[in-house]
Amino acid sequence: MKLIHDADEEEWLEFVSGNPEGNIFQTPEMARVYEKTQGYEPIRIFAVQNGEIQGVLLASLVWTGRQPLKSFSSRCILQGGPLSSEHKWASKLLQELDRSVSRRALYTEIRNLWELKSQIPVCESSGYTFAPHLNYHIDLRLGQDKIWSGMSKGRRKGISKAERIGLEIVEVRSDSQLNDFFKILRKTYSGLGMPLADESLFASAFRILTPLKRARFLLCKHGGKSIACRGFLLFKKTIYDWYAGSLAEDRAKKADEYLVWDTLQWGISQGYEVFDFGGAGSPEEEYGPREFKRRFGGRLIEPGRFKKVYKPTRLWISGKAFQVFRRLK
């Protein structure tokens, strides 16, 4: 067995596609998106035996600004991985990840996509600490009628209102539409006092993933004005809710709900089986988006997250600075 940092992309994609937990965040195409994104660096690690891939780990080193800000913001995010044929490979992949990023990152966070209890001892033995984290999945195999009846009365009422006032869903197909998409995201995140990834993340995802039918970007319009947006990633039979935003002055028009409902209907028609809402926060904290997602009637799961801190003092300073930033916003 050996660990390497480069592999044939066809073999890589074949391994991810064949793994039961294979997902968009561990694909070579996603690595190319990270490569083209300002403030992102893909970390690729492969476990290989007898010339065949036995494990894949794609993480991203993410930071804000230049030094010295960069050294107080760099973190490593591993989403939906590592993927491996055996637990021993997963442990080796995590050890190599720590070796690769521990000098540059404040911490590594593993964001699980499923409730995989077998992964807990593997991560904990590598020094990672588990924390509860929720999510909602909607089973698209139930069909449109059952999903509709499973929603809250208020959610159905909001969607009906959006239809009644004539909201229009438009798929992003041009740079100008993508610019509208990002403007809405930026206003939304600014209003929440939350940092947003660089525009190049969405531009690279649009150019690399949409031609492969691995991503879908939508705008919601009313009277010709773009009032909300939502971006989805697509892989195998799953739709991943990725980024969303809406203009505060138009939220009463229920564009957020309408965009999700339109995508659920589209997913059913295209043969997708799962709609992954992309996280619902810690069960120990109040989290507004959790209530929004709950009302669609999906299944609540607790995949949790793992975290390993490399530089606790810098992380503490960074956390305090972020609190000040949010208060100022």
* pLDDT of the residue at 116: 78
Q: Which helix (H) or strand (E) holds 240?
A: strand 238-246
Q: Mean pLDDT score of the chain, rounded to an integer? A: 94
The angle subtended at Cα 139 by Cα 307 and Cα 80, nearest 5°, is 25
Which of 286, 163, 312, 167 has its CA nearest to residue 228? 167
What domains does the chain contain, in order, with CATH numbers? 2-133+304-328 (3.40.630.30), 136-301 (3.40.630.30)
Query: pLDDT for 293-321, tens place per residue?
Result: 999 999 999 999 999 999 988 888 887 87
Q: Is 0.85 surpassed by the pTM of this model?
A: yes
The pLDDT-based confidence of 287 (bands split at 50, 70, 90) is: confident
The pLDDT-based confidence of 64 (bands split at 50, 70, 90) is: confident
Q: Are 128 and 308 in contact (CB under 8 A)?
A: yes
* pLDDT of the residue at 325: 61
Query: Residue 65: beta bridge partners?
Result: none
- The 8-class DSSP code of residue 70 comes to G
The angle subtended at Cα 57 by Cα 318 and Cα 197, nearest 5°, is 40
The pLDDT-based confidence of 117 (bands split at 50, 70, 90) is: confident
Q: Are 240 and 205 in contact (CB under 8 A)?
A: no
The pLDDT-based confidence of 257 (bands split at 50, 70, 90) is: very high
DSSP for 156-219, written as a single string: HHHHHHHHHTT-EEEE--SHHHHHHHHHHHHHHHHHHT-----HHHHHHHHHHHGGGTSEEEEE
The pLDDT-based confidence of 67 (bands split at 50, 70, 90) is: low
Q: How far apart are CA 160 and CA 307, in angstroms?
A: 42
Q: How far apart are CA 142 and CA 147, in angstroms?
A: 6
- Over 44-65, what HEC string results? EEEEEECCEEEEEEEEEEECCC
* pLDDT of the residue at 327: 67
The pLDDT-based confidence of 121 (bands split at 50, 70, 90) is: confident
Q: How far apart are CA 326 and CA 159, in angstroms?
A: 32
Q: Are 307 and 107 in contact (CB under 8 A)?
A: yes
Query: pLDDT for 37-48, tens place per residue?
Result: 999 999 999 999
* pLDDT of the residue at 49: 93
List own/partner pairs for 234-237 with CB under 8 A and 24 or more apart. 234/24, 234/272, 235/22, 235/23, 235/24, 235/27, 236/17, 236/22, 236/23, 237/271, 237/272, 237/273, 237/274
- 3-class state of residue 293 by DSSP: helix
The yes-or-no verdict on residue 273 having pLDDT over 80 is yes
Query: pLDDT for 102-113, tens place per residue?
Result: 999 999 999 999
* pLDDT of the residue at 194: 87
Q: Are 27 and 57 in contact (CB under 8 A)?
A: no
Q: Are 150 and 143 in contact (CB under 8 A)?
A: no
- The 8-class DSSP code of residue 251 comes to G
* pLDDT of the residue at 303: 95
pLDDT above 70 covers a percentage of the chain that reads 97
- The length of the chain in residues reads 329
Query: pLDDT for 23-36, tens place per residue?
Result: 999 999 999 999 99
The pLDDT-based confidence of 72 (bands split at 50, 70, 90) is: confident
The yes-or-no verdict on residue 214 having pLDDT over 70 is yes
Query: pLDDT for 150-204, tens place per residue?
Result: 999 999 999 999 999 999 999 999 999 999 999 999 999 999 888 899 999 999 9
The yes-or-no verdict on residue 278 having pLDDT over 70 is yes
Q: How far apart are CA 184 and CA 205, in angstroms?
A: 17
The yes-or-no verdict on residue 326 having pLDDT over 70 is no
pLDDT above 90 covers a percentage of the chain that reads 84
